[in-house]
């Protein structure tokens, strides 16, 4: 079972911001959202966590108390069979809920960054990037795929990034299934463990 929801910043009005913020079941998330400096970042974080709360309830979670792994990935200790992950960037937010470990990432199309590619991508991935015509799309596609995989693992950027090769377009890699989408100049990737 995999459930995925995506929302855009234009779905949030200033009136609904306060209502949604107060409705969040996690006081620590409410406080963290309010600490963002930019209003847009506050709004996107609220959209992502609002999606998570609604989707977790839909999946049958009654106790939404969050616990965190040593790497900081949130999970529901009372519901070990419900996994979730969320992301926000650009103008959009995404949340994925599954019965298996899951990771999600969303980014607006990013300009090709040679320094970041050298740091984060394997030699095979950099060769794949060089073959692509639209380096902005290719760079973003590869970035969100790698980020969603790392979030699925729960390892974050502590993983040796250059040793991981996730060429886009492959159906199954690293014992995971990837779902890739592009919506409104944003690239989305969800990674679900097999």
Q: Select from 78, 99, 120 the last residue of a domain.
A: 99
Residues 18, 92, single domain; the answer is: yes
Residues 15, 95, single domain; the answer is: yes
Residues 71, 112, single domain; the answer is: no
Overall pTM surpassing 0.75 (yes/no): yes
pLDDT of residue 24: 96
CATH code of 67's domain: 3.90.470.20
Q: Select from 41, 76, 99 the last residue of a domain.
A: 99
Q: Are 8 and 190 in contact (CB under 8 A)?
A: no
Spell out the per-residue pLDDT of the chain, length 194, in tens: 899 999 999 988 877 899 999 999 999 999 999 999 999 999 999 999 999 999 999 999 999 999 999 888 999 999 999 999 999 999 999 999 999 999 999 999 999 999 999 999 999 999 999 999 778 999 999 999 999 999 999 976 677 888 888 887 665 566 889 999 999 999 999 999 98
Residues 136, 154, single domain; the answer is: yes
Q: Are 102 and 94 in contact (CB under 8 A)?
A: no
Task: Tell me 189's DSSP state.
Answer: E
Domain of 115, in residue numbers: 106-193
pLDDT of residue 160: 80
Q: Select from 49, 67, 99 the last residue of a domain.
A: 99
């Amino acid at each position: 079972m995999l459930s995925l929801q995506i929302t855009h910043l234009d779905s949030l009005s200033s009136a609904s911001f306060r209502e949604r913020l107060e409705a969040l079941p996690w006081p620590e998330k409410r406080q963290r959202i309010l600490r963002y400096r930019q209003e847009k970042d506050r709004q996107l974080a609220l959209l992502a966590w609002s999606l998570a709360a609604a989707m977790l309830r839909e999946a049958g979670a009654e106790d939404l108390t969050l616990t965190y792994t040593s790497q900081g990935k949130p999970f529901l200790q009372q519901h070990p069979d419900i996994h979730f992950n969320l992301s926000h960037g650009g103008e959009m937010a995404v949340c994925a809920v599954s019965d298996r470990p899951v990771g999600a990432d969303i980014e607006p199309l990013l300009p090709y960054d040679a320094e970041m590619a050298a740091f984060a991508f394997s030699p095979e991935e950099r060769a794949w990037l060089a073959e692509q015509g639209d380096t902005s799309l290719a760079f973003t596609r590869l970035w969100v795929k790698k980020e969603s995989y790392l979030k699925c693992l729960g390892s974050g950027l502590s993983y040796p990034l250059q040793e991981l090769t996730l060429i886009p377009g492959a159906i199954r890699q690293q014992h995971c299934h990837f779902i890739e989408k592009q919506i409104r100049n944003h690239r989305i990737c969800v990674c679900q463990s097999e």
